[in-house]
């Protein structure tokens, strides 16, 4: 199979490509604009493989994207290209609207035209997999879970733009018959994640002896999903999921933000050389700061549909996945330094509201 992946230089996209090249026989084209969070260093281990190609392309450029389709002739699309950081969306929502909504609309139209030109047998086997987030559902109370039937109630410019893209994908399926599947996942973590996100930011700040900023009281709850588990789920949906269906993907790992940071500190206390640890331990660096505007209180995924119908379950516990993540960052300081050579220097974003 020839799989075109948008956003393949990002965190989840690069993990997906590494899995497809290392664990399957499929051919992969990585289409990426290479924004600040896109990093081809994350694909160094597969870049020489004959089954992997990279195309520097912005999904907002219709003609350029059309040319890519005509040359590569994909059998399937996995759409991960997106602006994805909530704080950054608060400071500058227009980029999120452009990439997540306009870019997705372009991709759908290019895919529809390409799909319509295929022979009937190829049309029947074609599929577009749209990868989305649980943040489109808004905030939960203390009980309950997001299911595939949960109404959308996005809170941030980021989640609103992703909700819009989900609706577009469903509309292209219902109106034009474009064969699609959609997944909504919980918070991903793992190696190669850009350090504006919670876990790598806390790890790198702690190693530099910097404050570990906790928004509000830190009791916001997220369900954490190790990125390699997510990648396996994405492939299961692409290959075995039912056209037109949506699948929620979660890690069964609900944690408060404060508990996540405390766990990071405790592991660092154990694995970092005592000479570079704070005297009172890494927890002493925790600092509470003003909360994010519109901060959702709790996310939790009901992943029973994908578990029952496709047989997928996460392999990592929160504890095993977190330790793997921390050890990876400790062993890849050069990667961390390179991805911060640009405009982002771990400063707080999302304060413009």
Question: CA-CA distance, 240 to 122, in Å (whole number)?
Answer: 17
- Residue 61 dihedral angles phi and psi, to the nearest 5°: -100, 100
In this structure, the number of other CB atoms found within 10 A of the CB of residue 251 comes to: 27
What would the pLDDT profile of 33-61 be if each residue is shown by its tens digit? 998 888 899 999 999 999 999 999 999 99
Contact between 185 and 222 under an 8 Å Cβ cutoff? The reply is no
DSSP for 73-99 reads --SEEEE------HHHHHH-HHHHIII
Check residue 145 and report its DSSP letter. Answer: -
Contact between 20 and 59 under an 8 Å Cβ cutoff? The reply is no
Helix (H, G, I), strand (E, B) or coil at 270: helix
Check residue 314 and report its DSSP letter. Answer: -
Taking phi first (over 0 means left), then psi (-120 to 50 degrees means alpha), and beta for anything else, what does residue 188 get? beta
Residue 292 has pLDDT above 90, yes or no: no
Give the N- to C-terminal CA distance of the chain in Å, as an integer: 46
H/E run at residue 352: none
Question: CA-CA distance, 58 to 199, in Å (whole number)?
Answer: 28
Q: Give the chain's mean pLDDT.
A: 93
State both tokens at 199: 């876990």
- Residue 201 dihedral angles phi and psi, to the nearest 5°: -60, -45
Check residue 101 and report its DSSP letter. Answer: I
The whole-number pLDDT of residue 345 equals 42
Q: Which of 179, 303, 150 is nearest to 238 (CA)?
A: 179
The whole-number pLDDT of residue 353 equals 54
What would the pLDDT profile of 325-340 be if each residue is shown by its tens digit? 999 999 998 888 777 7
In this structure, the number of other CB atoms found within 10 A of the CB of residue 342 comes to: 10
Q: Which of 20, 7, 19, 9 is nearest to 43 (CA)?
A: 9
Count of alpha carbons within 13 angstroms of residue 217, beta-carbon side? 5
What would the pLDDT profile of 168-221 be if each residue is shown by its tens digit? 999 999 999 999 999 999 999 999 998 888 999 999 999 999 999 999 999 999
Residue 350 has pLDDT above 70, yes or no: no
Q: Which domains does the chain carry?
A: 2-191+224-252+298-316 (3.40.50.720)
DSSP for 303-315 reads -HHHHHHH-----
Kindly indicate the confidence band of residue 8, based on its pLDDT and cuts at 50, 70 and 90: very high
The whole-number pLDDT of residue 87 equals 83
Question: CA-CA distance, 329 to 200, in Å (whole number)?
Answer: 8
Interhelix angle 157-176/104-116, rounded to 10 degrees, is: 20
Average pLDDT of the residues in 313-331: 96
Active-site amino acid positions: 134-135, 158
The whole-number pLDDT of residue 335 equals 84
In this structure, the number of other CB atoms found within 10 A of the CB of residue 340 comes to: 16
Tell me how far apart the 2 most distant CA atoms of the chain are, in Å.
68
State both tokens at 332: 């890849």
The whole-number pLDDT of residue 344 equals 41
Q: Which of 264, 242, 212 is nearest to 310 (CA)?
A: 242
pTM over 0.85: yes
The whole-number pLDDT of residue 85 equals 74
What would the pLDDT profile of 226-252 be if each residue is shown by its tens digit? 999 999 999 999 999 999 999 999 998
Average pLDDT of the residues in 63-92: 93
Question: CA-CA distance, 213 to 196, in Å (whole number)?
Answer: 12
Give percent of the chain above pLDDT 70.
96
Count of alpha carbons within 13 angstroms of residue 350, beta-carbon side? 21
């Amino acid at each position: 199979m020839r799989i075109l992946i948008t956003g393949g230089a990002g965190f989840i996209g690069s993990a997906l490509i590494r899995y497809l090249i290392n664990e399957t026989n499929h051919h992969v084209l990585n289409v990426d604009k290479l924004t600040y969070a896109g990093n081809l260093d994350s694909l160094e281990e597969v870049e020489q493989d004959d089954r992997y190609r990279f195309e520097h392309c912005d999904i907002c450029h219709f003609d350029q994207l059309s040319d890519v389709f005509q040359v590569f002739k994909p059998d399937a699309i996995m759409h991960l290209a997106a602006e994805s950081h909530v704080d950054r969306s608060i400071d500058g929502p227009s980029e999120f609207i452009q990439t997540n909504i306009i870019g997705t609309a372009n991709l759908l139209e290019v895919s529809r035209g390409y799909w319509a030109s295929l022979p009937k047998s190829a049309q029947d086997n074609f599929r577009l997999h749209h990868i989305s987030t649980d943040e489109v559902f808004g905030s939960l109370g203390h009980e309950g879970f997001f299911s595939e039937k949960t109404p959308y109630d996005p809170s941030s410019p980021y989640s609103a733009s992703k909700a819009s893209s989900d609706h577009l994908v469903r509309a292209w399926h219902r109106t034009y018959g474009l064969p699609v599947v959609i997944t909504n996942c919980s918070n991903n973590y793992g190696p190669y994640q850009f350090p504006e996100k919670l876990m790598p930011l806390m790890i790198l700040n702690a190693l530099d002896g910097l404050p570990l900023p906790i928004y509000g009281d830190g009791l916001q709850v997220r369900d954490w999903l190790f990125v390699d588990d997510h990648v396996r789920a994405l492939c299961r949906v692409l290959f075995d999921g039912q056209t037109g269906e949506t699948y929620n993907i979660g890690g069964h790992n609900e944690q408060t933000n404060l508990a996540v940071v405390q766990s990071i500190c405790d592991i660092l206390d154990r694995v970092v050389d005592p000479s570079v640890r704070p005297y009172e331990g890494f927890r002493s660096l925790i600092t509470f700061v003003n909360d994010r505007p519109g901060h959702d209180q709790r996310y939790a995924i009901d992943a029973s549909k994908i578990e029952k119908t496709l047989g997928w379950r996460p392999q990592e516990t929160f504890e095993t996945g977190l330790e793997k993540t921390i050890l990876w960052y400790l062993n890849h300081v050069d990667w961390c330094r390179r991805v911060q050579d640009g405009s982002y220097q771990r400063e707080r974003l999302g304060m413009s509201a």
